[in-house]
Chain A
């Protein structure tokens, strides 16, 4: 019942026109920016620099969601042998690495303001996210070192499934760390912020998720068109 309902919701998402998604992304990102710069108050401890957090954390959560989507499609490929799942898994991982790169860049800028350094190697949260990111970068090396076909799809799927294990480790690192510099934003009893800060974060989070899904749809449409075109060329030659 639960899995069936999830698949139905995914089916519903696929039926949303791309133009509607692009418009929603634009409206949501613009709203998020207005809230970030004109509505949300300055943080008592970090001041203005805390405003990076709204997109930085949203980007991180979106990257995790993309990697989880990659693993889910990888599982579907291995389990159901759904021919579309390999491409969907690949595009999800690709989106995850793009959003992951933005997390590292924005986080590094935040570190420079807050800690006076671009990177702190002793910080578990940062290093584990970097490991997760590099792990997924290596996914592309593996994928493109094997000829297209079932073997490549299977290897990629297994690799994407292994990678998803690193997500909870990366997320939990901040709790396991005894000496931490990275702010703790989410506790077991809820987020560590309220009011406009929470509202702005939620809008930014939804904006990033919708933007990622829009880009995913654009990329997958391009890839499918490319594959159809190659098949057509082969048929004509």
Chain B
């Protein structure tokens, strides 16, 4: 692999790493929202259960 090929590969890897980190952060946030929705559902159902 030449020096130029290494740098070009690094550049494309950087782009995909940034996008991957961004998507992971969004996934974590959606996971948190999902948990909060579940908690709310539980709270709403509690009076009926009692």
**Closest chain B residue to A36, Cβ basis:** B12
Chain B residue, CB-CB nearest to A56: B11
Task: Give complex CA distance A218, B25 in Å.
Answer: 12
Contacts of A215 in B (CB 8 A): 19, 22-23, 26
Is A47 touching B26 in the complex (CB atoms < 8 A)?
A: no
Q: How far is the CB of A215 from chain B (nearest CB, A)?
A: 7
Q: Is B40 in contact with A222, judged by CB distance below 8 angstroms? A: no
Stretch at the interface among A7-15, A103-111, A170-178: A103-111
- Per-residue CB proximity of A213-237 to B under 8 Å, as 1/0? 0010011001001100100110010
* Least Cβ–Cβ distance between B12 and chain A, in angstroms: 7
Q: Which residues of the other chain, A, contact B15 by a CB distance below 8 angstroms? A: 55, 59, 102, 105-106
Chain B residues near A98 (CB, 8 Å)? 18, 22
B36 and A229 contacting across the interface, CB-CB below 8 Å: yes
Is B8's CB under 8 angstroms from A52's CB?
yes
CB neighbours of A219 from chain B (8 A) = 26
**Is B18 in contact with A101, judged by CB distance below 8 angstroms?**
yes
Q: Find chain B residues with CB under 8 A from A47 CB.
A: 4
Query: How would you classify the secondary structure of chain A's contact residues: helix, strand, loop or mixed?
Result: helix
Which residues of chain A are within 8 angstroms of B26 by Cβ–Cβ distance?
215, 218-219, 222
Contacts of A55 in B (CB 8 A): 11-12, 15
* Size of interface on B: residues with Cβ below 8 Å to A: 24
Residue of B whose beta carbon sits closest to that of A55:
B15
Are A109 and B33 in contact (CB-based, < 8 A)? no
B5 to chain A: which residues have CB within 8 Å? 48
How far apart are the CA atoms of A109 and B7 in the complex, in Å? 6
Residues of B within 8 A of A (CB): 2-5, 7-8, 10-12, 14-15, 18-19, 22-23, 26, 29-30, 33, 36-37, 40, 43-44
10 cross-chain CB contacts under 8 A = A49-B4, A51-B8, A105-B14, A109-B7, A109-B14, A113-B3, A113-B4, A215-B22, A219-B26, A233-B40
Residues of A with Cβ closer than 8 Å to B?
33, 47-49, 51-52, 55-56, 59, 98, 101-102, 105-106, 109-110, 112-113, 211, 215, 218-219, 222, 225-226, 229, 232-233, 236
Known pairs A52-B8, A55-B15, A98-B18; list 7 more (Cβ under 8 Å): A98-B22, A102-B15, A112-B7, A215-B23, A218-B26, A226-B29, A236-B43
